[in-house]
Amino acid sequence: MHGEAVVGERLTQKLHINRGDVLSIALPLPGDPSFVPIRMDLRITGIASTGEDADNEILLPLAIAQSVVNKPDAISRVEISARTKPEDAFARKDPDTLSPKDHEIWYCSPYANSIAYQIREAIPGAQAEQVRRVEQSEGNVLKRISGLMWLISAAALLAAGFAVSAAMATAVLERGGEIGLMRSLGASKAAIALLFYSETGLLAIFAGTLGYLAGSGLAAWLGARIFRGDSGSPEAILIPVLLPVVVALALAVAIGGSTPSIRAALRMNPSAILREDT
């Protein structure tokens, strides 16, 4: 017997097979006293990567699966995976009570309810049930994690601002003599502020780029461990559009944190600074 199959990603790793290979298997019929092992050659036409149990399974066409178990017309359960629209108040309405226009909108919307309704409509006597409790729980967890990440990010930016302010205050104290000398030689406050802001900006651009690369690597590692399990291999997650956003945030934090110290330095009396150094 020959056929085509889609094999789960983890199973392909265990069996060391790839797309295009031919998998030869023997499928006995348990419980049949006169069973004869069925020899089947399956050509691997695709690899499934879902992050679920299907990654460890072989997906066969229905006709082949029925012939393997010697039940050509028997179907007890069919699992359907669909990308659906989040449920809202309109999705929970009874389609039989809707107006023709609203019924068409409801019917064509990718709600889980409308998909189940169409399955029952296409297969009379079928019982379509929605298995979405796990997805809903995962969605709630992800929403809470997302909120926590925003809170941690805000706290990290605030802490970074204080750290920059403290570092700039230390730099101003250490370079007080230079500031006083430049002021006494006629340097304007704007020129001195521009000097400090330029140094801070260059460091912020370098640190922002480095943080973007480190964050992308950490996101890839966490994604592989959390969503694909310990066997998942990290894949690079580089989103170019985020680089200018991260650099802009780094510049904003650096400039905002250094501004109080720079303003304090510009208010210093240059003659008093030079007298202290002597």
* Tokens at 249, concatenated: 């945030």
pLDDT at residue 90 above 80?
A: yes
The pLDDT tens digits of the residues spanning 13-69 come to 888 888 888 887 766 555 555 555 667 788 888 888 877 777 888 888 877 777 777
Please give the single-letter amino acid code of residue 73: D
Structure tokens at 48: 């499934």
Q: What is the pLDDT of residues 188-241, one digit of tens each?
A: 888 888 888 888 889 889 988 998 888 888 877 877 776 554 444 555 567 888
pLDDT in tens, 148-168: 888 888 898 899 889 888 888
Token output for 32: 């049949």
